[in-house]
Structure 1
Amino acid sequence: MFISLLKVATAASFLQTSLAASILAERNDTQVLRVAQKDQSLRYLDWSDVASLQPARIDGKKYGCKCYPGDSCWPKAQTWNQLNRTVDGKLLVHVPPGAPCHSTFAGPFGTVRTYDAAACQTATDNWGNETWTVEQPAAALWTYFTNDTCVPTADRSQPCTLGYYGVYVIMATKRSHVKAGIDFARRNNIRLIVRNTGHDFIGRSTGFGSLVINTHSFKSVEWIDSYRGPGSSYRGSAVKIGAGVQGRELLSLGHARKTPTMLVTGECPTVGIAGGFIQGGGHGPWSTLKGMSADNVLAFEVITASGQYVNANDKENPDLFWALKGGGPASFAVILSVTMKTFPDLPSAGATLYINGTHGVTPDQWWNATSSFHKYSNHFVDQGLYVYYELMPMTFRVRPFVAIGKTTTELRAILAPFLAELDALNVAYEFDIKGFSTFYDLYIDLFEDETSGQTALTGGWLFTHSDVAERNDDIINAFKTALSPRPDVFALMIGHLFNPGHGMPVSNSATHPAWRNATDYIITVVPLFPGAPPAVKADFQNVLTHTIDDALRSASTSGAAYVNEADPYQPNWQGHFWGSEYPKLKQYRSKWDPKGIFYAISTPGTEAWEVVEGGTRLCKKL
């Protein structure tokens, strides 16, 4: 749901009509950052139009903060209206998608009536529907970091506020709209969020008091039979995709080609490929055979923090090219398009396995089965498999084992030692195996859509080959802690068996070197109830960081986690997310975004930045 600028201004009587002429005049920073002459497409970055941070003293500490509604620096109505004209009327005042179920929305600019029975029913029916949520202007698929202050309800008298959602949204349809948003945020000291699908576990697609640029409409897809790119020796097939293209729609387009075509996407169908997914590294069912998604990138088209249109590839801006490939979401530039390697689809085999309390297994049998499965995880990935599994108390579910380019006979042979061990342990289980003419057919049949509207904390950890080979008993003990961290805390785990080093031993991306010896990436999840008070949130966060994930970290020697699916509040996030690559990434961040125009928690160069005052203001420690 959204409300036009004019409607909000009239209803709330908040927007001042005089143009703040001083906004563009008050510039204290005239730094010009010179760039090496080898960067052919960009000779300098001009930071002379960066607005100053707002000085603040919070809890006795000195900060420089972004500008927020109610501050004297917040742009006046005429300034926002000028931005709206610049982006061809695509600027919206954001209202949470649950607002139609509430009588009023008490936003940052006043209170407006929002109840609409039909729209409320639509929101209620679709709150768990990822596809519906993705299509909203600035909604987040997982709602914890929105503060859950305006969710669907049968009681329309319940309050509805903006929470931590952005204030304005640019529904960008052209690259000039994206540039205008970046320029406006830079010149007016506004927190900037770039949102494609809202597919984000840790709140990087939303932010209190922010201007959101929605890139979801960038749906261009160009198939390339033989790539010829600047400085690239690659001559195979490729695809150039816009920032808004999602996984399943791209795989469907590839499947429809005369020669069915594949590439490395995520396992979840709604994930956008070109943005934060690749900037975090990107893993999926083809990663054991083809590496991380970032390893397969050939070129980017981006807009920098200084508002420059830039190509990034092996020849043009190679430092930025490398950093964008796994160096951190929302950190270096806004991606408009990415060009990636593609490859022919292959016949594939898939299998599912279920073990739970309804099969009559005891807790000891269940844990023995889990330990056996994990003991064979090196074997699975060494045979080229990808495996997606879920662990909850007394529920162990694999859906699916994926064997790309293999028959059911071959997959059954790979799984035979593990299944024989389950039989020897007298563990009852359900097992099914199927063959498919292409991986795409397997993907449509065996992979399940995820749900949205959940409020939860997310952590995670990587286990390498050596971890599994030498410390499997320790890992299983850590699993026991993770699933039952405390009597009053429920938790679950989602596992991904794959090894990017199997098919691509040497990385060409900024991802953590430990991925080249990976076996299992575990996501830990701690659900909360909507509206949990701050003390409960802090308590659960402490359990996640210092009980659940600490148990996993202690069971491992890898020292690695995945930036898109992990606890951003963990200690030493710099080393855990990027390892030895971090110093170079921090250096490149200081070159391409020295003023912090872009921000995402626990990404290179953000050590001085902090979200303060109850998860609201973004400030820099001075």
Structure 2
Amino acid sequence: MAPQRLVLLYGIFASLAASTPQGIPSQEQYMRALNDSLGGRVHINEPFAKPCFSIYEGEHVGRDDDLCAERQANYSSPTYRNQFPGAYMYEQSSICASDKTSADKCLLDNKNPSSASAFDNVNCKQGNVPSYYVEVREANDAVQAFEYARQSGCKLAIKNSGHSFMEDSSQKGALLLWTRNLRSLDHDEAFVPEGCSSDPFNAITTGAGVNCGEAYEFADKNGVTILCGYSPTVGLSGGWVQNGGHSVLSNVYGLGADRVLQFTVVTPDGEVRVANKCQNSNLFWALRGGGGGTFGVVINSTHLVEPAMALGVASIGVPKADKEAVKGFMELLVDTAVDLAEDGWGGHIYGNYFVHVTPKMTTQDAATKSLAKIVSYVEKHGGTANITVLPTWYSFFDKYVLSGAFAVGGLSILNTRLVPTDVFTNANLSTKYKSHLRDFVEGGGLPYVPVVSPYVYKGSREATSVQPAWYTSLWEYGNPAYWQWNSTFEERIEIIKGMQKQTDTIRELTPGGGAYKNEANPFIADWKREYFGNHYEELLKVKQSYDPKGLLKCWHCVGWTDEDVNDSCYKEFNNISV
């Protein structure tokens, strides 16, 4: 595919080289050429909080009081942040955390965004926010951006919603390809992947910018159910599905990577490709778990849907202040984990309570009987149990998820690990794990456990490139670490050391496990095995075949090397030990 604008871009680059001393145009000249080719759609990218600052990159600028007040009022709103290419849900992506002066950032106090101490006479710096962005409107925009990167050597990053905890969608000095406004949605009851002769699928095709909340609402209006993440602003086609994509329905229906049928993607070699099981099948496999921001710019993706379904729903818990009750509650959840999984339950455990759903228990009696042991326990310990049946997925999502607060704007670093089924069925492993949970609660912690593994689901494990431990696990367990908005470099180091210690402890308790890259410790040393298992070498071959120049790089993504570390805002945290 070589549209007229791409031919024009080639001509501009050739002309630049011919008219420049030594034939080497500057980065600025290359950027101007790309901007001309895209009709003036290359824009300066600014940190989300910049309107509150009167100093930007050392220059005095006008503080925008009205826009600042708007940003302050919506600082923790993911829906508001979703509108801006320079906004990230978790601000460790926006700062250059390795800056030892802790000044290469532009943040407000997320606990009190109106506090002038964060911005009064403070220099707002670009940090890790890419310097420029292009709003991707069509595949050819990405084609031209890749040609620009090949010619200029400029770095690229890809961003939809900015939900990554891992810096996948931010990079200092880069050109950002922003896909949020690719918002098409199409329901096809008889979708056949391009080039295939298979039976048709009931499917929805989503533009790369469509988020989970939008997909859920569209599916509900069309009488079907689509799987996506728990937060409404997570993008469906990006890092969610490309890293595996868990859902509270994954136990029965599989991961997002199990359910995706086709991608339209622009690969870094400049080609627009359709990837499915019948064409570009190695690329299709890689996109089903090998990581976002790695193999190309996804333009749209097509996902298998289920009929509208009733769900058993349970919200059950004990008083948070009663540590002994919480300890017993967590022990009981370990002891009943396999039985609950077989009954189709999936959801989230928050230490003293859980919210679970199941499509297999669709009567009040069946759902209540399945949870009888847990209900009996919580009633004896002053807890509550609310078990009901709701008519559709969206009715659950609206009642239990949209009504909750999804506060963002802090610096949250997740540190989870997949917990193999053996931990629940082997008496020795189970005893050690329960002892750990008891100690954690005694120390004031509330264990966080997404129950999202495809235990009941029996799809082909070889069809995806997700960490294989997903298919032999029941839980994902871990607890986030936090940097304060004004933490020093030394404080960040200490937090990471604490994370590394916690990771070592959890790994010892979960032999045969692995990590979900979207929610893993970013600083783990053995990241290739932890994130990708035995798939890494094959993923690297795929990466090199479609991105021979290494145009797409992100922290601990497939193709990342030790030589890339010095270019990262995480460089000072590489290989930190306890």
Task: Tell me the TM-score normalized by structure 2.
Answer: 0.87
SS at match of 1:306: coil
Paired residues for 1:220-369 under 5 Å: 220-229=184-193, 230-231=195-196, 233-257=198-222, 260-358=223-321, 361=322, 363-369=323-329
| 2:17 aligned partner | 21
Which of these residues, 76, 96, 102, is aligned with residue 128 of structure 1?
A: 76
Whose strand proportion is higher, 1 or 2? 1
TM-score, structure 1 as length reference: 0.81
Determine the structure 2 residue equivalent to 1:75.
27
> Per residue, is there more helix in 1 or in 2?
2
Structure 2 residue 364 is matched with structure 1 residue 399: no
Aligned partner of 1:160 in structure 2 is 124
Q: 1:337 to 1:483 in 2, by over 3 A?
A: farther
Unaligned runs of 5+ in 2: 1-14, 96-103, 109-113, 573-578
User: What does residue 516 of structure 1 align with?
Assistant: 471
1:541 is matched with 496
- Map 1:201-216 onto structure 2 (within 5 A): 201-216=165-180
Per-residue CA deviation, residues 251-281 of structure 1 (Å, 9 max, x unaligned), is 1011112xx1112211111111111111101
* Distance in 1 of aligned mates of 2:442 and 2:296: 41
Residue 161 of structure 2 contacts residue 180 of structure 2 at CA under 8 Å; is this kept in 1? yes
For 2:564, the equivalent position in structure 1 comes to 610
**The one of 79, 86, 102 aligned to 1:138:** 86
- The one-character-per-residue Cα deviations of 1:236-258 (angstroms, maximum 9, x if unpaired) are 2111111001111111011112x
Amino acid across the alignment from 2:369 = A
Query: 8 Å contact 1:91–1:168 — kept in the other structure?
Result: yes
Letter aligned with residue 322 of structure 1: W
**Which structure 2 residues correspond to residues 523-534 of structure 1 after superposition, within 5 A?**
523-534=478-489
Residue identity opposite 2:67 in structure 1 = A
Residues 220, 245 of structure 1: 8 Å contact kept: yes
How far is 1:340 from its partner?
1.3
The residue aligned with 1:49 is: none
User: How big is the shift at 1:565?
Assistant: 0.8
Partners of 2:155 and 2:551 within 8 A in 1: yes
The 1:233/1:400 distance shift into structure 2, 3 A limit, reads same
Contact 1:196 1:215 in 2 (8 A): yes
Tell me the CA shift for residue 476 of structure 1. 3.0
> Per-residue deviation at 1:573?
1.6
Query: Which residue of the partner structure matches residue 116 of structure 1?
Result: 64
Partners in 2 of 1:126 and 1:429 — Cα distance?
35
Change (3 A) 1:372 1:138: same
Aligned residue type for 1:185: A
Contact 1:354 1:431 (8 Å CA) reproduced = yes
3-state DSSP class of the match of 1:92? strand
In the alignment, which residue of structure 2 is the partner of 1:469? 425
Q: Does 1:187 align with 2:142?
A: no
SS at match of 1:589: helix
Unaligned segments of structure 1, at least 5 residues: 1-18, 28-71
Which residue in the other structure is 1:580 paired with? 534
For the residues of structure 2 that align with 1:542 and 1:73, how far apart are their CA atoms? 44
Aligned pairs, number = 537
Using the alignment, how far apart are the partners of 2:129 and 2:107 within structure 1?
12
The 3-state SS of whatever aligns with 1:387 is: strand
C-alpha contact 1:371 1:472 (8 A) present in aligned 2: no
**Which residue number in structure 2 is paired with residue 172 of structure 1?**
136
Give distance in 2, aligned partners of 1:269 and 1:523. Answer: 22
Task: Note if contact 1:150-1:163 (Cα within 8 Å) is conserved in structure 2.
Answer: yes
What's 1:65 paired with?
Answer: none
Q: Using a 3 Å threshold, how does the CA distance of structure 1 residues 408 and 534 change in structure 2: closer, same or farther?
A: same
**In structure 2, do the counterparts of structure 1 residues 406 and 165 end up closer, same or farther at CA, with 3 Å as the change threshold?**
same
The CA distance in 1 between the partners of 2:196 and 2:448, in whole Å, is 39
Structure 2 counterpart SS, 1:352: strand
| CA distances 1:363-404 after superposition (whole Å, capped 9, x unpaired) | 23321221112221221111111121223xxxx231344446
1:552-591 correspondence to structure 2 within 5 Å: 552-591=506-545
Q: Are 1:105 and 2:56 counterparts?
A: yes
Aligned in 2, Cα 1:494/1:85: closer, same or farther, shift over 3 Å?
Answer: farther
The 1:481/1:368 distance shift into structure 2, 3 A limit, reads closer
Shift of 1:497: 1.2
The one-letter code of the counterpart of 1:382 is E
Distance 2:551 2:250 in 1: 32
